[in-house]
């Protein structure tokens, strides 16, 4: 994570980008990514080399009713970079967001020279605004409320809240710091970065009905239950109104440290009791298939719940809490400490706050977590050439 305590200069962005590109390149080569470097000198004795080619992922349209990077593409790209920033007190959000939208269109189309020749592939950029900016338009608008404080938090003041979220996702991790640098350079001294987090998703596992879900850093399949159908997404994910926010959604971003050694010391049965699902295939302890909803009333012959009373699958279950579904994403992180970056999207912030409040009373998973960054954002409705990014809210 890189924190900025001053207005960064254009030169500092380039310096940081260069360092991050070098790191990303090393990681990409380690992972077996193809290289465009020149072959060996024809006149020198050298071992034969093999050129590996990869199929470029399908591009994801940046424009439309909803912003890309939430339900599209499917499955979600494996790499993410989240950048959280503040706007200067005198900065008008409308013009800034419109500029960012144009830059996003150019970046995802491969038309921005600041990509330094990198193909954009499946790059998506998703932009959200924080409660301070939303309240300035209307105190009753979705997204105007911030998050309350919860237990098991150890959050520095600069890692709580924020005015602007830029979420970048791609199959190629090298794209992310380069695209982020271009967008921050576009914003210039109108924004000041609070914190950023690079993260990656685990390998996808089939969970039925043609869908997949990744494993989280604790080894369990994550994000199985959610608003996956169009009807569920209309009901629980997308904002229907008022017109200024229709087509947007509400995001919660939480960075957590995980006590991996203590969790790993549990038996497999103990780990499964924490989650309420089998580790190998994600099937609920009450039976069924991976995408089955846990049967919370199912018991053993001697009267014990098959899904333990404090299991995460029970405590976070939408029916048990009395809320709608949330679209959940968990990403593994190495810095500043091993853990995960949790993101969820819903059309009612209470879906998240009520769920976490319910978990705090007796969720067996929470003792293995410590939250170190937290924020909520209104993800703006989609945009196009006729309706710039943010124009419905700040026009």
Q: What is the mean pLDDT of the chain?
A: 90
**Per-position b or e across 178-196, b if 16+ CB within 10 A of its CB:** bbbbbbbbbbeebbbbbbb
**Structural Rg of the chain based on CA atoms:** 22
> What pLDDT score does 7 carry?
43
In the chain, what percentage of residues exceed pLDDT 70? 86
Give per-residue pLDDT as tens, 308-321.
Answer: 999 999 999 999 99
> What pLDDT score does 329 carry?
97
Name the residue with higher pLDDT: 373 or 49: 373
> What pLDDT score does 371 carry?
98
Q: 155-161 long-range CB contacts below 8 Å, 24 or more apart?
A: 155/371, 155/372, 155/373, 155/374, 156/372, 156/373, 158/3, 158/5, 158/194, 158/195, 159/194, 159/195, 159/255, 159/372, 159/373, 159/374, 160/373, 160/374, 160/375, 161/130, 161/131, 161/132, 161/374, 161/375
> What pLDDT score does 53 carry?
56
> What pLDDT score does 56 carry?
81
Q: What is the pTM of this model?
A: 0.87
Give per-residue pLDDT as tens, 195-240.
Answer: 999 999 999 999 998 999 999 999 999 999 999 999 999 999 999 9
Region 284-297: mean pLDDT is 97
Q: How far is it, in rounded angstroms, from Cα 285 to Cα 276? A: 6
Angle 297-299-300 from CA coordinates, rounded to 5°: 175
Residue 370 has pLDDT above 80, yes or no: yes
> What pLDDT score does 395 carry?
86
> What pLDDT score does 4 carry?
42
> What pLDDT score does 51 carry?
52
Give per-residue pLDDT as tens, 150-169.
Answer: 999 999 999 999 999 999 99
């Amino acid at each position: 994570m890189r924190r900025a305590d001053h207005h960064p200069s254009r030169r500092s962005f380039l310096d940081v980008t260069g360092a991050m590109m070098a790191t990303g390149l090393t990681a990409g080569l380690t992972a077996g990514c193809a290289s465009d470097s020149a072959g060996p000198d024809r006149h020198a004795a050298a071992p034969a080399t093999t050129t590996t080619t990869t199929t470029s992922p399908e591009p994801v349209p940046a424009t439309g009713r909803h912003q890309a990077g939430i339900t599209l593409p499917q499955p979600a790209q494996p790499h993410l970079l989240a950048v959280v920033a503040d706007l200067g007190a005198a900065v008008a959000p409308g013009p800034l967001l419109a500029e960012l939208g144009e830059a996003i269109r150019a970046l995802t189309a491969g038309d921005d020279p600041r990509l330094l020749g990198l193909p954009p592939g499946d790059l998506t950029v998703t932009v959200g605004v924080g409660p301070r900016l939303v309240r300035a338009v209307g105190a009753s608008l979705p997204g105007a409320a911030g998050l309350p404080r919860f237990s098991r938090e150890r959050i520095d003041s600069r890692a709580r809240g924020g005015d602007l979220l830029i979420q970048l996702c791609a199959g190629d991790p090298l794209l992310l710091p380069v695209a982020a640098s271009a967008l921050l350079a576009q914003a210039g001294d109108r924004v000041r970065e609070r914190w950023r987090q690079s993260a990656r998703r685990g390998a996808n596992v089939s969970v039925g009905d043609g869908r997949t879900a990744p494993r989280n850093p604790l080894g369990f399949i994550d994000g199985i239950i959610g608003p996956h159908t169009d009807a569920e997404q209309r009901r629980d994910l997308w904002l229907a109104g008022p017109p200024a926010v229709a087509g947007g959604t509400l995001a919660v971003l939480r960075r957590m440290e995980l006590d991996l050694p203590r969790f790993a010391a549990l038996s497999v049965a103990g780990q499964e009791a924490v989650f309420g699902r089998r580790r190998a295939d994600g099937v609920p302890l009450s039976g069924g298939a991976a995408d089955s909803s846990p049967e919370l009333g199912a018991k053993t012959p001697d009267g014990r719940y098959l899904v333990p009373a404090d299991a995460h699958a029970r405590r976070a279950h939408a029916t048990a809490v009395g809320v709608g579904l949330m679209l959940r994403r968990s990403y593994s992180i190495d810095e500043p400490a091993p853990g995960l970056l949790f993101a969820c999207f819903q059309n009612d912030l209470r879906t998240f706050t009520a769920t976490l409040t319910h978990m705090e009373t007796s969720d067996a998973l929470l003792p293995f977590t410590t939250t170190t960054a937290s924020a909520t954002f209104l993800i703006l409705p989609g945009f196009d050439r006729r309706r710039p990014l943010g124009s419905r809210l700040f026009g």
